[in-house]
Structure 1
Amino acid sequence: MSTMEIKRDMASLAAVVDEAARTATAIPQLTERVPDLTVEDGYAIQALSLARRLGRGERRIGVKMGLTSRAKMAQVGVDEVIWGRLTDAMRLEEGGAMSRANYVHPRIEPEIVFLMKKPLSGEVSPLEALAAVEAIAPAMEVIDSRYQNFKFALPDVVADNSSSSGFVLGNWHKPDTAIDNLGIILEADGRAVQVGSTAAILGHPLRSLVAAARLVSRWGERLNPGDIVLAGGATAAHALAPGMHVRAVYQNLGAVSLNVTE
């Protein structure tokens, strides 16, 4: 296959995953169609898919990190986290509503989010990463795989923008606020469904920001002032259903909530 044919095929796969996300339609795994699809191919498809979103008027506002649990990395047999891109259309109002109809398999997980004040890219230390942070906040991310039966291989996930689909942010706090081991309770309709700690995010959420700087640089990108970085799930994700009220309560950081409609 020529370089032109490969690029054309990547573009067609990007159109498939983009349309699946846009219309909330489940699709077969890309690896069923292209068995030798690699993670690098997945990132190329992700970039092309995001370009389609930007072409429709969406704006890139940051990145999300995935597979940030050591146990999850071991479970799927990888030694590196993954990342996806966030756009302004993914933002949900804190305490507001999200329509279940806009998603295929929506699940929610509590996270820590960083707001950048300086550019960051490449190999950096935790101290250098922290120096580029304007503020931190509690957050929840709505993840959604567009693949049928919630089944996929790693290249599929990456191509599908690492399951990025929505997020809600809580109140901002000073960047030097301790976040290394904060208790978190994820509630659904007032009942605790997940209990965890920010330490589940690579041992410290700041390590996720360090990884974000390294990974985006591989694609010629950087974290820009004003960008947000979702550090990754601090607990297992909880499936969402219409009528559900979801709230994540964080030690020392407050709470963040969301209502699910039809």
Structure 2
Amino acid sequence: MTRDIESNAQTIADALTSAQQIPKLSSEAEQLSLDDAYSIASRVREILGKERVGRKVGFTNRTIWPVYGVDQPIWGEVHSDGLFSTDQPVNLASYSEPRIEPEIVLGLKHAPTAEMNNEQLAGCVEWVAPGFEIVQSIYPNWKFSVEDSIAAQGLHGCLVLGDKIAATHDVLTGLAEVPLALFKGAEAIESGKGENALGGPIEVLAHLVSL
């Protein structure tokens, strides 16, 4: 069956703008293909008409793949109206089943290309910053296929960007070892380090560029 890209994209765009949830697109009877998922995602972005300021890569931590039933990273866009500094409030009511994720954010000064090695890719980075991503699921109870998550803009809600740090050689080579800890008040909820994301942030950039 040929997917109705326009109808599905409009349904997702409406859900995202109203913080409403919808049934997932994929089913046992009709699986959503990767090509259709990215086609729907592209059309959603056209409908929303927002200004892109960057891209996010999701599901880079392979250890959580079994939790969500996915088997590969995904990507989506970061938009100007969804980029906040740490002193700006974020209205969580704008998102469906929001969750928070600590992030390492890379700011680029040159456009990377697929033939670059990791050292060359690192040379494209101007700054590094800590951040929080608010992710969301327009599908109830965070149940979806990887294709569903792609169609829904990579589950991206917004990005809260911390202070930028100049991308010196020492900073870039140390990214994989950067420790991260997520606290809820005084309680440590989760911990990890940069290498949990496909080996490190530069490796994530390499993955994104390869797509």
TM-score relative to the length of structure 2: 0.90
Question: Aligned partner of 1:90: which letter?
Answer: G
How far apart, in 1, do the equivalents of 2:28 and 2:113 lie? 34
Provide Cα deviations, 1:196-252, integer angstroms capped at 9, x if missing partner: 21121112111001111111xxxxxxxxxxxxxxxxxxxxxxxxxxxxxxxxxxxxx
Match of 2:207 in 1: 211
Q: Percent identity?
A: 28
Structure 2 matches for 1:128-139, cutoff 5 A? 128-139=120-131
Match of 2:26 in 1: 31
How far apart, in 1, do the equivalents of 2:132 and 2:21 lie? 23
How far apart, in 2, do the equivalents of 1:34 and 1:126 lie? 42
Pick from 83, 97, 122 the counterpart of residue 91 of structure 1.
83
Conserved in 2, the CA contact under 8 Å of 1:68 and 1:208? Answer: yes
What secondary structure is seen at the aligned counterpart in 1 of 2:7?
helix
Shift of 1:102: 0.6
1:154–1:198 CA distance, 2 compared to 1 (3 A): same
Q: Does 1:109 align with 2:101?
A: yes
Q: Can you give the 5+ residue segments of structure 2 that lack an aligned partner in the other structure?
A: none
How far apart, in 1, do the equivalents of 2:116 and 2:22 lie? 38
Pick from 167, 188, 203 the counterpart of residue 184 of structure 2.
188
How far apart, in 2, do the equivalents of 1:81 and 1:157 lie? 10
Q: Please list every run of at least 4 consecutive aligned residues from structure 1 whose deviation after the TM superposition is greater than 4 angstroms.
A: none
Question: Aligned partner of 2:180: which letter?
Answer: I
Shift of 1:30: 0.7
Match of 2:112 in 1: 120
Conserved in 1, the CA contact under 8 Å of 2:26 and 2:145? Answer: yes
Question: Aligned partner of 2:182: which letter?
Answer: L
How far apart, in 1, do the equivalents of 2:129 and 2:111 lie? 19
Q: Does 1:72 align with 2:68?
A: no
Provide Cα deviations, 1:106-129, integer angstroms capped at 9, x if missing partner: 001111111010112324311111
Shift of 1:131: 1.0
What secondary structure is seen at the aligned counterpart in 1 of 2:129?
strand
Provide Cα deviations, 1:47-99, integer angstroms capped at 9, x if missing partner: 10011121xxx201111001111223466352x42111111111123133212
Conserved in 1, the CA contact under 8 Å of 2:132 and 2:160? Answer: yes
Question: Aligned partner of 1:114: which letter?
Answer: L
Q: Does 1:198 align with 2:194?
A: yes
Q: Say how many residue pairs are matched.
A: 206
Match of 2:12 in 1: 17
Structure 2 matches for 1:214-225, cutoff 5 A? 214-215=210-211
Provide Cα deviations, 1:116-161, integer angstroms capped at 9, x if missing partner: 1011232431111111111111111111011122211111011001
RMSD: 1.9
Question: Aligned partner of 1:190: which letter?
Answer: A
Shift of 1:100: 2.2
1:123–1:70 CA distance, 2 compared to 1 (3 A): farther
TM-score relative to the length of structure 1: 0.73
